[in-house]
Chains A and B, each alone.
Chain A
């Protein structure tokens, strides 16, 4: 058995953590960064970049770079029309089907894009375990977090992403609940907790009761399309509106440069009263753009957005049967809770200062690691009892929803419903499963349609088919059916409305194995380029030193310098290509060309150091 980790698969950033005997640890990359930007870029050659590298490519090759893919998980094309216009990548797919994201001539489903992010986190964790000297460093299982308000399709899409990344998804848990676990670690307290989680793309509120180590969610609510992304978009649109043309026809890369400046201004305004929205000159923006923005102005702009979070908060309190004053602790989670206006409004609503002692970016991943540890270790001191955020129902006569499992029911939860036939000898019944609170089926989320087949032919109304709906601890639905008179289990073909079938996931998995070799090649190419770039950088730095002549004591001839420069140019050309062997060869050639230079510089610096010493010694 390999290692097990907890993963926060975020809209903006993703993290991976694991449990140790001394408590949970967030895994960082070589430069100490825990956050992996949830950005995936695929270049023309098909090489996949994830994280910081992909983020850089947003400014140079934005049409091939995908961000905020979490907003598209488990959703249909018709859902996302409104928000695709500012995105550089193509958002499409068949009407009534899952979203497909176009990058160059390739198309990906959102779970496939997310799988790239998960694979990178898996790789990061494995590298960490290898460095720790672990013999068995493979990461094969994970707990992955989702917004509490995610519906069945969005959860299933997340689980599919895990499978595509080669992970067994032990459990899908809710982000606010995960955060409460992380908080519960050091304070073994009891009472009522409200977790306010405003992330990059989603908002959740969960009200929990903690007693005896049991974290029982009383109610949850939220909005899966509300987060920091929307703040960024408002600021970006503000700039676009102020640019003469209204921003129409700007190249995608320039829009991304504006978005980057908007994000920076937003961050600055969390600590300063005034910030500058500054965009360098770029294509379509010959003079650049600069504008001051005060916090007051910023808050007036985003106020409606923050107010929108308070509606679900009040609903969740109401569902839990609590007044704001009855909540003992308020916990802030998610990067967007750094915005002072958010803090102020939450504090006003609850009448108490919210907690934010744990890093709001990391707390969810920490909680996921704790839950992963509970699952594999069988420790029973802590237990999460979560709820299903939305009611589950079926469509009945006249397009009305009949609810079977109510929202805020503790999961796992089950419900059953009896069906019969309307025509003599009828052998099949169609069932439409929905999620949502609205009366009309058309206003609820369509989860799946299925057909109960193999009903023994009987007069109309006689068959008694019991359909059992089971929501598991992941908040994911499964359906089974039985004809009670004959005790015959019914075959069910579920067609998810906005998800992938198992067969589709299988096919993608096989394809990803087929691509694994290509992916491995791509990784080696990236490594080769990185190594080559660092050598080019170091060489050019040495050659450009003002004290070059002095440093080399004129031992390096101009012709030698010329041949080094030639080797540098050759390596740069090789880096621009995609042949790893050529890069390696050019790297070796540059190493050879600079060997004498390096020796001379080394000797001289040693001599100088010794000389310095001797002077002092005298």
Chain B
């Protein structure tokens, strides 16, 4: 008797609670009895919406899929169904709404891609805790500028002067933001072209997406700081 290959991972496909037949994990409805399936561990919004794992998405296509699936899952249409199906409808609708919200905006879409590709942004990374190395110079210059503006205000400078100085402070940061938006768009397109590329090339793209995203979040915070400063005046 020849040795049987060891099953490293036993994948038990989920079972339909209605008819006990097995249902592939990405199916919303049982192929056999067409009952809505309870939502197991899912995490891929792209697959859930039936979209390829790509970053450039046709908004109208996303909207259409969202509407179509809403029509299939919404609790309105399970009013007379069994408790299990009603729960499944609630779970799938909630998940669909999350998925749509995340994929609708390019930034949250990239964030989700990074999560499912194993490079999630940490909880504290979005904040102002640590200056990304690529932005040290800008942040240093901005802080000096803001200090000077505060000094000016305290010595009684008029509003026009302060506004002009704030505009000067804002300009390089805004330029940096635009630069990042373009770089993010370019990296996104690169990711989309790399469907068949080697794993390390794909990994490199993901890492640059991650770095750009963290920097972009940091820039957004800097701009918010300037806005707060402006509101002071």
Instruction: List 11 extra interface pairs beyond A409-B97, A410-B100, A413-B94, CB under 8 A.
Output: A170-B79, A211-B63, A374-B76, A378-B79, A378-B80, A383-B76, A413-B98, A414-B95, A472-B75, A472-B90, A473-B74
List CB contacts (< 8 Å) of B22-81 with chain A: 63, 67, 70-71, 74-77, 79-80
Smallest Cβ-Cβ distance to B80: which chain A residue = A378
B71 touches A412 (CB 8 A): no
Chain B residues lying within 8 Å of A380, measured Cβ to Cβ, are 71, 77
Partner of A211, one of B67, B74, B76, B77: B67
Interface string of A402-426 (1 = CB under 8 A from B): 0000000111111000000000000
Chain B residues lying within 8 Å of A170, measured Cβ to Cβ, are 79
**Complex: how many Å from CA A61 to CA B194?**
79
The smallest beta-carbon distance between A504 and chain B, in angstroms, is 25
Return 18 A-B CB contacts under 8 Å, by A number: A171-B76, A211-B63, A214-B71, A216-B67, A378-B77, A380-B77, A383-B71, A383-B74, A383-B76, A384-B76, A410-B100, A412-B90, A412-B97, A413-B97, A414-B91, A414-B98, A470-B94, A473-B76
**Complex: how many Å from CA A380 to CA B69?**
12
Partner of A414, one of B74, B94, B101: B94
**Complex: how many Å from CA A216 to CA B63?**
11
Interface string of A369-413 (1 = CB under 8 A from B): 000001110101001110000000000000000000000011111
**Complex: how many Å from CA A93 to CA B70?**
43
Counting CB contacts under 8 A, is A212 at the interface?
yes
The smallest beta-carbon distance between A191 and chain B, in angstroms, is 14
**Complex: how many Å from CA A414 to CA B92?**
10
**Complex: how many Å from CA A391 to CA B90?**
19
Interface string of A347-388 (1 = CB under 8 A from B): 000000000000000000000000000111010100111000
B70 touches A383 (CB 8 A): yes
The smallest beta-carbon distance between B126 and chain A, in angstroms, is 13
Specify the main secondary structure of chain B where it touches its partner.
helix
**Complex: how many Å from CA A212 to CA B60?**
13
A375 touches B94 (CB 8 A): no
Chain B residues lying within 8 Å of A378, measured Cβ to Cβ, are 77, 79-80
**Complex: how many Å from CA A384 to CA B77?**
11
User: How many residues on the A side are at the interface (Cβ–Cβ under 8 A)?
Assistant: 23
| Closest 6 pairs (CB-CB, A-B) | A414-B94, A410-B97, A412-B94, A214-B67, A375-B79, A412-B93
Answer whether A410 and B71 are a contact pair too, CB < 8 Å, given A375-B76, A380-B77: no
A412 touches B67 (CB 8 A): no
The smallest beta-carbon distance between B174 and chain A, in angstroms, is 20
Chain B residues lying within 8 Å of A375, measured Cβ to Cβ, are 76, 79
**Complex: how many Å from CA A473 to CA B63?**
20
**Which of B63, B74, B91, B100 has the most chain A CB within a 10 Å cutoff?**
B74
**Complex: how many Å from CA A564 to CA B190?**
100
Smallest Cβ-Cβ distance to A212: which chain B residue = B67
Chain A residues lying within 8 Å of B95, measured Cβ to Cβ, are 414
Smallest Cβ-Cβ distance to A408: which chain B residue = B101
User: How many residues on the B side are at the interface (Cβ–Cβ under 8 A)?
Assistant: 19
Interface residue ranges, B against A (CB under 8 Å): 63, 67, 70-71, 74-77, 79-80, 90-91, 93-95, 97-98, 100-101
The smallest beta-carbon distance between A180 and chain B, in angstroms, is 15
Chain A residues lying within 8 Å of B91, measured Cβ to Cβ, are 414
A411 touches B97 (CB 8 A): yes
**Complex: how many Å from CA A473 to CA B76?**
8
**Complex: how many Å from CA A354 to CA B129?**
49
**Which of B63, B94, B100 has the most chain A CB within a 10 Å cutoff?**
B94
Chain A residues lying within 8 Å of B63, measured Cβ to Cβ, are 211
The smallest beta-carbon distance between A456 and chain B, in angstroms, is 23
Answer whether A409 and B79 are a contact pair too, CB < 8 Å, given A385-B70, A470-B90: no
Chain A residues lying within 8 Å of B67, measured Cβ to Cβ, are 211-212, 214, 216
Chain B residues lying within 8 Å of A470, measured Cβ to Cβ, are 90, 94
List CB contacts (< 8 Å) of A467-502 with chain B: 470, 472-473
The smallest beta-carbon distance between A418 and chain B, in angstroms, is 11
Smallest Cβ-Cβ distance to A387: which chain B residue = B97
A409 touches B101 (CB 8 A): yes
Partner of B101, one of A171, A216, A383, A410: A410
**Complex: how many Å from CA A429 to CA B219?**
38
Chain B residues lying within 8 Å of A376, measured Cβ to Cβ, are 79-80
Smallest Cβ-Cβ distance to B96: which chain A residue = A410
List CB contacts (< 8 Å) of A204-247 with chain B: 211-212, 214, 216
Chain A residues lying within 8 Å of B74, measured Cβ to Cβ, are 383, 385, 473
Smallest Cβ-Cβ distance to A376: which chain B residue = B79
**Which of A374, A410, A413, A472 has the most chain B CB within a 10 Å cutoff?**
A410
Chain A residues lying within 8 Å of B100, measured Cβ to Cβ, are 410
Smallest Cβ-Cβ distance to B81: which chain A residue = A378
**Complex: how many Å from CA A376 to CA B71?**
15
**Which of B70, B91, B97, B100 has the most chain A CB within a 10 Å cutoff?**
B97
The smallest beta-carbon distance between B227 and chain A, in angstroms, is 15
**Complex: how many Å from CA A473 to CA B78?**
12
The smallest beta-carbon distance between B71 and chain A, in angstroms, is 6
**Complex: how many Å from CA A212 to CA B68?**
10
